[in-house]
Amino acid sequence: MKLTSTLIEQTLTQFEAQVIPDGHPALRQLNELYGDHTFFLDGNGLNIVEPVESAEEEVEAGQVVNLATWNDENPPALAPHEPEPTDVVVILGAVH
């Protein structure tokens, strides 16, 4: 899911991470591997946000999905794996 700048800001208020900005050299390769998404890096690795059903019909929510985790090498690198949904669900806003 590609997020607007407003939704990125909303996500970052609920999920401690850094967004990989448009124009970053790795973004093209990430889009080829995973599709057109907004990518986030946190202490666990590389993540995206996927839409999920919300308990409240009026609210749009997204679940953080981990795509790659940091390995123990020095320096650490990302080790890709099958997408793993996390327990983190962010409220993106009201459904229009």
Write out the residue range of the structural domain in which residue 58 sits. 5-94
CA distance 76 to 79: 9
Average pLDDT of the segment spanning 32-58: 92
**Are residues 65 and 34 in contact, defined by beta-carbon separation less than 8 angstroms?**
no
Predicted TM-score (pTM) above 0.85: yes
Identify which has the larger pLDDT, 52 or 55.
52
Task: Say what the pLDDT of residue 75 is.
Answer: 86
Inter-CA distances, 6 with 12, 75, 81, 92, 94, Å: 10, 33, 29, 9, 13
Number of domains in the chain: 1
